[in-house]
Amino acid sequence: MTLFDAVSQTVAALEKRNIRRPRVGVVLGSGLGDFANELAHVDKIPYSELPHMPLARVPGHAGNLCFGQIGAVDVVCLQGRVHLYEGHDVHAVVHGVRTMARLGVRVVLLTNAAGGLDPTWSPGDLMVVTDHLNLMATSPLVGPNDERFGPRFPDMTQAYDRDVRSKLFQVAKQTGLALREGVYAGLLGPSYETPAEIRMLRVLGADAVGMSTVPEVLALRHLGVAVGALSCISNLAAGLSPTPLSHREVEQVARSRRADLIALLSGWVRAVGEP
């Protein structure tokens, strides 16, 4: 079966359940899944009930496709994502966002927890991603190209949509939230980086480092979907942090920004989705 057919089957299974057609998509990263509980009229569908949806295997990632509304905007959320380091195939990692696009979503905001590379930043800071470095040594676009998804050589000059970014800043200003912006380096993981790797990443122009987001962005841009990404800086990266890194800390810091993130994501959904 082709990847396109697999996505069609997931979409068909969702259509059978009479989901509302979403216009906006949100992918919820480590410790950030609570936003899905804010949706009105929410319909939560466990990935396990859908064909071809890979299952999340990391604590803090619930594994539900959630349909609902923020204001008048129909939204779909991936509550919990899968990562390359879990051993999933790169195509499986992007199956959820490809499904979103086929459901009609034209704009997606991806969230993640990330390590900060600027020693003047603090855990809990929020960063709008302006661009990325793909250091995962793979791409969901590797393999025969299916033109039904998009072109063989998609352009990545403006991978992170200007309008999506400016709306995040607009909402942050209204909400009284500070936002940073910078370049996200996507690494395979699952070990955190060594201090030498962090020094290398700083030389390369990265501001934050994490283990997700990049494959989804590549797949969504291939499909022509507008993309934004928001990193919760859960820790200073290795060598910059006074304490050893731990997933527990990452989740705790992300959770501590729960209310602000919900306000920001809700405001952003309304800003992009309401006419």
Query: Which residues are at the interface with ligand HPA (CB under 6 A)?
Result: 113-115, 192-193, 209-211, 234-235, 237, 245, 250
Chain Cα centroid distance, residue 106: 15
**Nearest distance, CB of residue 178 and ligand HPA, angstroms:** 19
**Nearest distance, CB of residue 132 and ligand HPA, angstroms:** 13
Q: DSSP of 12-68, one letter per residue?
A: HHHHHTT----SEEEEE-TT-GGGGGG-EEEEEEEGGGSTTPPPP-STT---EEEEE
**Nearest distance, CB of residue 189 and ligand HPA, angstroms:** 6
Residue 234 or 266: the one with the smaller Cβ distance to ligand HPA is 234
Pairing verdict, β 64-70 and 180-187 = unpaired
Residue 58 or 262: the one with the smaller Cβ distance to ligand HPA is 58
**Nearest distance, CB of residue 200 and ligand HPA, angstroms:** 13
- Tell me how long the chain is: 275
Residue 64 or 234: the one with the smaller Cβ distance to ligand HPA is 234
Q: Quote the CA–CA distance of 250 and 198 in Å, as a whole number.
A: 17
Residue 113 or 214: the one with the smaller Cβ distance to ligand HPA is 113
CA 58-59-60 angle, to 5 degrees, is: 110
Q: Quote the CA–CA distance of 82 and 148 in Å, as a whole number.
A: 24
CA 223-227-228 angle, to 5 degrees, is: 165
**Nearest distance, CB of residue 169 and ligand HPA, angstroms:** 23
Q: Please, are residues 209 and 89 in contact by the beta-carbon 8 Å criterion?
A: no
Chain Cα centroid distance, residue 53: 16
**Nearest distance, CB of residue 241 and ligand HPA, angstroms:** 8
Question: Which residue minimizes CB distance to ligand HPA?
Answer: 115
Residue 231 or 266: the one with the smaller Cβ distance to ligand HPA is 231
**Nearest distance, CB of residue 143 and ligand HPA, angstroms:** 26
For the four alpha carbons of 34, 35, 36 and 39, in that order, the dihedral sign comes to positive
End-to-end CA distance of the chain: 39
Residue 83 or 222: the one with the smaller Cβ distance to ligand HPA is 83
Residue 166 or 194: the one with the smaller Cβ distance to ligand HPA is 194
